[in-house]
């Protein structure tokens, strides 16, 4: 279930994240973007909207609009997963604006129209989150004036993070929920979210990407997420994993663009080990993508 869809103002609930620089030299206008799949996709949207003054773009696979479930688990499991015709994006947009006006517990959603970019993906064979839910998300973002939205909805993928050559068959449903569809979602979304920092044809040049299977020089850092829980409470009751991971490419010690990725249900360390965050091999090919970034 899209757990993050149940939260109005999200705490940092995704149990695993991967953050990495997108350039070797920190630019003066460094950007932070997010992405996620399934519950992580819903969470990426929650995070993007709630902290729109900080986040400049989102890549979402099988996720839906902000506050989709409105605090109701039955709505989460129906409207937000299987019955998208029940979603009113106009109502959700109004709730978003009113939440900012009346409570200030989220950032001003007017920020979303300021050079934000949104990349969306839904597999035609997704039987968990109906493709129509992602199309509702596209409409939701459109109501806030985001001009740069890319929707990909023609690949016959089941519910999964989609890769070029790692994981189960494209139409398979099951752990680790990573399917090889001849499509490198990581490269595609990064090149869209950071268009001025990529060489031409980064995402479409799969031959180049296959050759770049060794990660760029850098280090994988473990982050104790308990440090971010108010009052010193343990992370687990908040749905937060003990450890997050950050890949820091060489040259980024003093700051770079940052991308944060949130995994989906059944993709935690407990369920699939380091598969989602393994930066030295597929499936999570952001580091391969970074090799094609201009410096």
Tell me how far apart the alpha carbons of residues 252 and 96 are, in angstroms, rounded to a whole number.
Answer: 35
Task: Please answer whether residues 22 and 97 qualify as being in contact, where contact means their C-beta atoms are separated by less than 8 angstroms.
Answer: no
pLDDT of residue 72 exceeding 80, the answer is: yes
Strands 218-224 and 243-249: what pairing?
Answer: antiparallel
Higher-confidence residue: 191 or 294? 191
Retrieve residue 117's tokens.
């970019």
pLDDT exceeding 90 applies to what percent of the chain? 48
Higher-confidence residue: 93 or 255? 93
pLDDT of residue 262 exceeding 60, the answer is: yes
Confidence of residue 90 (pLDDT cuts 50, 70, 90): very high
pLDDT of residue 252 exceeding 50, the answer is: yes
Give the containing element (helix H, strand E) for 133: helix 131-142
Expressed in percent and rounded to 5, the helix, strand and coil fractions of the chain are: 30, 20, 50
Active site members: 38, 126, 159
Beta carbons within 8 Å of 259's beta carbon, 6+ residues apart: 18, 19, 20, 22, 32, 33, 34, 35, 190, 193, 286
Q: Where are the domains of the chain?
A: 4-198+216-291
Tell me how far apart the alpha carbons of residues 65 and 237 are, in angstroms, rounded to a whole number.
Answer: 25
Residue 148 burial (CB < 10 Å; 0-12/13-18/19+)? middle
- The model's pLDDT over 118-142, given as tens digits with 9 standing for 90+, comes to 999 999 999 999 999 999 999 999 9
Longest CA pairwise span in the chain (Å): 52
pLDDT of residue 251 exceeding 80, the answer is: no
């Amino acid at each position: 279930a899209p757990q993050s869809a149940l939260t109005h103002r999200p705490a940092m609930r995704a149990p695993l994240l991967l953050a990495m620089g997108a350039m070797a030299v920190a630019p003066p206008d460094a950007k932070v973007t997010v992405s996620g799949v399934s519950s992580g996709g819903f969470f990426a949207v929650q995070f993007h909207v709630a902290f729109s003054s900080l986040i400049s773009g989102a890549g979402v696979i099988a996720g839906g609009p902000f506050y989709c479930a409105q605090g109701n688990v039955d709505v989460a499991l129906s409207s937000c997963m299987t019955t998208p015709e029940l979603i009113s994006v106009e109502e959700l947009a109004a709730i978003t604006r009113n939440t900012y006006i009346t409570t200030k517990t989220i950032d001003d959603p007017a920020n979303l129209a300021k050079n934000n970019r949104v990349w969306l993906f839904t597999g035609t064979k997704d039987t968990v989150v109906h493709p129509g839910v992602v199309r509702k998300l596209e409409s939701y973002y459109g109501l806030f004036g985001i001009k740069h939205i890319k929707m990909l909805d023609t690949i016959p993928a089941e519910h999964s993070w989609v890769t070029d050559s790692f994981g189960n068959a494209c139409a398979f449903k099951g752990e680790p929920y990573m399917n090889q569809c001849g499509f490198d979602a990581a490269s595609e979304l990064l090149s869209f979210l950071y268009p001025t920092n990529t060489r031409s044809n980064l995402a479409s040049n799969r031959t180049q990407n296959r050759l770049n299977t060794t990660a760029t020089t850098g280090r994988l850092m473990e982050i104790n997420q308990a440090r971010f829980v108010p009052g010193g409470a343990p992370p687990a009751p908040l749905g937060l994993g003990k450890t997050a991971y950050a890949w820091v490419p060489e040259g980024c010690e003093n700051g770079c663009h940052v991308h944060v990725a949130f995994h989906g249900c059944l993709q935690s360390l407990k369920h699939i080990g380091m598969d989602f965050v393994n930066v030295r091999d597929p499936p999570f090919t952001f580091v391969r993508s970074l090799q094609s970034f201009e410096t």
